[in-house]
Amino acid sequence: MVTQFWKNILKKISSNPFSKKSHIKLGLYGPPNGGKSTLANRICLDWLGEEMSTVSHIAHETREINIKEQVSIKNKKGRELTFSLVDTPGIATRIDYEEFLKKGMKKTEAKKRAKEATKGVIDAIKWLDNMDSVVVVLDATKDPYSQVNITIIGNLQARNIPVLIAANKVDLKKSSVEAMKAAFPQYEIVGISAKYGKNIEDFYEQLFKLAK
Amino acid sequence: MVTFHFVPYQDIENLGSAKRVNKLLNIVKEDKIVIMEGRLRKEEEADLIEITMEEINAKFHGIELSVISPETYSQNAVQKIKGVFANVLLGDRIGFTIIGPASVVKKIERNPDKIEMFMKESVNGKKKKRR
């Protein structure tokens, strides 16, 4: 805790408050299957013309930290923001290889995936300290009060890392951005569909505010 | 049969972060559900997840975790002010933490004024707790 305090002080001293940051490390965090990689792909497709991650309906598809350097986005006012986009594995408190068996995987494959997934969660948590800003990608059809959501957001707050919450999957009938807003009233929340690009312009505008 | 293990805050108060997390996790690994008075620090919650991931094997599949503290449920302005004072006086002793083994607890849902703990089928049906 003391180390973290000094890290935060050093971080503040080393940054020039009069210069506008143009290159930041932007992390995508959240529980598995919230749509982090889909959002990473959407951002990269929109601004670089290529995808960066593979996506799947089976949880823990992303099991390693993926980084896309030099992603530049522009807003309507012509401002440019350049960042390294960091797509992280979903953070979970439980990983059972038998869940993968139910999705039709073979036992060896399922066990391997589970082992890689546990390492991915550990890496994602360790990488929290490297982030300048974070977009927490949450599935808007799911319970916002999940402890994983609260722990991720709480840890970002404890590290003084600016947070934007992307309430994803608003194209689905069950989604509720309002429920997300009620659960996290102190945070900026933008409802999006990373898959179909719904409301993505608002999301990009929010990124500029996040990186201020 | 489901066993609940109560951990008073004084049992962990003077322990360092690693010892706190290991103490709780060792109880959970005995297939018991921990009901802890108070809460872990945010960084300790992340440590708990990290260590849980390191411990996962064929028998131990992880944990279900839920922290209930005044910030997690709706309050009016007066209650919030009282909460700030209580926080100053009591710190992490406020609220309580539930940690269950994934082999026993299917999921814990918070609504936010109601907590539902769903047990695995092998354990006797569904248990429900209400605040």
The CATH number of residue A59's host domain is 3.40.50.300
Q: Does B113 touch chain A (CB under 8 A)?
A: no
pLDDT of residue A18: 38
> If you count residue pairs, one on A and one on B, with CB atoms under 8 Å apart, how many are there?
74
Q: Does A92 touch chain B (CB under 8 A)?
A: yes
Asked whether residue A49 is assigned to any structural domain, the reply reads yes
Q: Does B42 touch chain A (CB under 8 A)?
A: yes
Residues 48-77 of B with CB under 8 A from A: 49-50, 52-54, 56, 61-67, 72
Contact at CB, A118 and B53, closer than 8 angstroms: yes
Total tally of structural domains belonging to chain B: 1
Highest mean pLDDT among A94-98, B51-55, B113-117: B51-55
B124 φ/ψ angles, rounded to the nearest 5 degrees: -55, 85
Contact at CB, A125 and B46, closer than 8 angstroms: yes
pLDDT in tens, B35-86: 999 999 999 999 999 999 999 998 999 999 999 876 655 566 666 666 666 6
Asked whether residue A6 is assigned to any structural domain, the reply reads no
Total tally of structural domains belonging to chain A: 1
Q: What is the DSSP letter of B81?
A: H
Reply yes or no on whether the pLDDT at B126 is more than 60: no
Asked whether residue A187 is assigned to any structural domain, the reply reads yes
Structural domain boundaries, residue B24: 3-130
ipTM of the modeled complex: 0.84
Asked if the bond preceding B70 is cis, omega within 30° of 0, the reply is no
Which chain B residues are closer than 8 Å to A145 by Cβ? 72, 109-112
Q: How far apart are CA B53 and CA A119, in angstroms?
A: 7
Place of tokens 């930041």: A24
Asked whether residue A14 is assigned to any structural domain, the reply reads no
Asked whether residue A52 is assigned to any structural domain, the reply reads yes
Reply yes or no on whether the pLDDT at A115 is more than 90: yes
Structural domain boundaries, residue A44: 20-91+123-210
A25 φ/ψ angles, rounded to the nearest 5 degrees: -95, 110
